[in-house]
């Protein structure tokens, strides 16, 4: 209990010392404030950018492997051999059926294709720039399709290629402007009539402007094949893809990837020495590239802010040396009436840490103000992780800057100190 009282008294002495030299305190914490602001602001913006970009890639789904001719990223040597990829065959409906019947480690599989810049009509109302999607059975397992009204396709509608459709929020708003119920109504795509059976919940625009279901019209894949050519000779903009959802672990995805590779190579009759003529893409590959880029930017932020913090640390150390010199006689009196060395040590050490923490809090406050600045679609959020990091860094700087002056003060001889 006595030790706790002494520590508390050390806190009080440190706080009074900071209050008694207010101008000096403010000037000495500026370096730490600028340093913490530089580091945490860069990390906050980087984290926010990374999160917004990854959220924009949610349209690709999670835990999904895409089978197609074009890979998402370059090879290990950094080269994108488009001339080789161009000659590859597209994913076919027969391959989809084969994989659907034989894959063991999948949690969902679907074939799909899309056509951009489509026009959808209803009476005198129409909307262009619509992404027409042909989705096979299980498409809603691969991609998150949040139905606000109505329902999604059933198995019979997909297999028989029924003329039914699920439309996005903006499509429904344009074709049914008077808040009419779209369910059961008829719309036209390329002069073919489709009955609306569902409306997708509003998603809004993403940071990167990636495809949104707000401007999508989804029809069964077999119905899509009636409108556009699919298969080996399909046009580039109508390339079919097969999406396979794996288990909820990296191990499950690796097992699924190996299973798909073996089955698809067998289906296409590839020899053991022949390279794959298909790509197995995972959205995580793009996310890893994004993370790598922002890691480099984060290091740059640490370097920039590190110089400011270094200057701030030297400033605090200098102020603490001055404080020791100013209060040498007081230290002598305290030690003469029984103050222990650790009491003196803590008194100056807490003062340095307080000084640095106040600077860190000021820096974090300025970072918090940044979050209120409008930045378009970019949402900047100061996370708990960055707050804790800022406070930890400032505390460590205060500890390092104050340990030598505090130790010097603790070792003073009481008689010599009083005479000083």
DSSP structure string for 374-400 = --TT------HHHHHHHHHHHHHHHHH
Handedness of CA 85, 89, 93, 95 (dihedral sign): negative
* Structure confidence at residue 197 (pLDDT): 94
Can you say whether residue 144 is alpha, beta or left, with left for phi > 0 and alpha for psi between -120 and 50 degrees? beta
Per-residue pLDDT of the chain (420 residues; tens, 9 = 90+): 555 565 565 566 656 666 666 666 677 777 778 888 888 888 888 788 777 776 666 666 667 888 888 887 777 666 777 777 888 888 888 898 899 888 888 888 888 888 888 899 988 888 988 989 998 888 888 888 888 989 999 989 988 989 999 999 999 999 988 767 899 999 999 888 999 999 999 887 765 556 678 889 999 998 998 888 775 555 545 678 888 888 766 667 788 888 889 999 989 888 888 888 888 888 776 666 667 777 777 777 777 777 777 777 777 787 777 777 766 777 677 777 776 776 777 777 777 787 788 888 888 999 899 888 877 667 788 889 889 988 888 888 888 888 887 778 777 776 666 666
My answer on whether 32 and 118 are in the same domain is no
Domain that holds residue 121: 64-281
- For the segment 284-336, what is each residue's pLDDT rounded down to a tens digit? 766 666 677 777 777 777 777 777 777 777 777 877 777 777 667 776 777 77
The pLDDT assigned to 57 comes to 64
Do residues 158 and 292 share a domain? no
- Bridge partners, residue 120, by sequence: 127, 189
Classify the C-alpha dihedral 194-198-204-206 as positive or negative.
negative
User: Do 236 and 114 form a contact (C-beta atoms < 8 A)?
Assistant: no
Domain match, 82 and 143 both: yes
Q: Are residues 326 and 234 in the same domain?
A: no
Overall size of the chain counted in residues: 420
Closest CA to 172 of 120, 108, 96, 234: 120
My answer on whether 208 and 272 are in the same domain is yes
> What token pair was written down for 43?
């990390």
- Out of 281, 304, 332, pick the residue that ends a domain: 281
Kindly list the distances between the CA atom of residue 268 and the CA atoms of 64, 69, 271, 299, in Å, as whole numbers in the listed order: 22, 13, 9, 46
Q: Are residues 165 and 252 in the same domain?
A: yes
Instruction: Kindly state whether residues 102 and 31 are assigned to the same domain.
Output: no
118 and 166 in one domain? Answer: yes
- With 0.85 as the threshold, say if the pTM is over it: no
Please check whether residue 137 is in contact with residue 159, taking contact to mean a CB–CB distance below 8 angstroms.
yes
Domain boundary among 225, 259, 281: 281
Number of domains in the chain: 2
CA distance 131 to 300: 40
Residues 323 and 395 in one domain: yes
Query: Looking at the structure, do residues 14 and 122 belong to the same domain, yes or no?
Result: no
pLDDT of residue 171: 92
Q: How far apart are CA 66 and CA 308, in angstroms?
A: 47
User: Other CB atoms closer than 10 Å to residue 80's CB: what's the count?
Assistant: 12
**Residue 271 φ then ψ, to 5°:** -75, 160
Residue ending a domain, choose from 281, 307, 334: 281
Q: 38 and 92 share a domain?
A: no
Question: ∠ at Cα 229 (227, 233), nearest 5°?
Answer: 175
Q: CA 34, 39, 42: angle at the middle one, nearest 5?
A: 115
Q: Do 52 and 74 lie in a common domain?
A: no
How far apart are alpha carbons 190 and 204 in whole angstroms?
27
Give the distance from CA 388 to its chain's centroid: 19
User: CA 231 to CA 72: how far, in whole Å?
Assistant: 21
């Amino acid at each position: 209990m006595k030790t706790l009282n002494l520590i508390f008294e050390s806190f009080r002495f440190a706080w009074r010392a900071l209050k008694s030299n207010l101008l000096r305190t403010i000037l000495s914490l500026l370096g730490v404030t600028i340093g913490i602001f530089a580091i945490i602001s860069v990390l906050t913006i980087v984290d926010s950018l990374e999160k917004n970009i990854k959220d924009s890639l949610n349209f690709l789904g999670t835990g999904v492997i895409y089978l197609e001719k074009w890979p998402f990223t370059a090879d290990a040597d950094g080269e994108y051999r488009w001339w080789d990829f161009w000659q590859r065959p597209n994913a076919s409906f027969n391959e989809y059926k084969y994989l659907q019947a034989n894959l063991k480690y999948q949690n969902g599989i679907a074939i799909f294709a899309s056509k951009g810049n489509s026009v959808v009509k209803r009476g005198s109302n129409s909307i262009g720039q619509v992404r027409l999607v042909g989705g096979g059975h299980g498409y809603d397992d691969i991609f998150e399709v949040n139905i606000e009204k109505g329902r999604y396709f059933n198995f019979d509608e997909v297999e028989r290629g029924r003329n039914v459709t699920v439309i996005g929020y903006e499509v429904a708003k344009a074709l049914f402007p008077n808040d009419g119920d779209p369910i059961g109504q008829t719309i036209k795509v390329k002069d073919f009539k489709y009955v609306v059976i569902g409306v997708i919940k509003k998603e809004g625009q993403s940071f990167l402007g990636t495809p949104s279901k707000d401007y999508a019209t989804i029809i069964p894949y077999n119905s899509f094949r009636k409108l556009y050519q699919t298969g080996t000779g399909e046009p580039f903009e109508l390339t079919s893809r097969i999406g396979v959802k794996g288990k909820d672990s990296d191990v499950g995805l690796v097992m699924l990837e190996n299973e798909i590779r073996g089955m698809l190579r067998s289906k296409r009759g590839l020899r053991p020495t022949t390279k794959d003529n298909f790509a197995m893409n995972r959205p995580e590959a793009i996310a890893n590239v994004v993370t790598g880029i922002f890691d480099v930017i984060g290091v740059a932020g640490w370097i920039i802010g590190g110089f400011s913090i270094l200057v701030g640390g030297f400033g605090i150390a200098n102020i603490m040396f001055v404080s020791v010199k100013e209060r040498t006689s007081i230290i002598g009196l305290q030690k003469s009436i029984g103050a222990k060395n650790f009491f003196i040590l803590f008194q100056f050490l807490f003062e340095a840490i307080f000084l640095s923490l106040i600077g860190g809090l000021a820096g974090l406050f300025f970072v918090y103000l940044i979050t209120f600045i409008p930045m378009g679609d970019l949402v900047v959020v100061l996370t708990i992780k960055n707050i804790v990091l800022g406070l930890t860094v400032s505390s460590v700087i205060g500890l390092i800057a104050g340990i030598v002056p505090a130790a010097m003060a603790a070792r003073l001889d009481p008689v010599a100190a009083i005479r000083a």
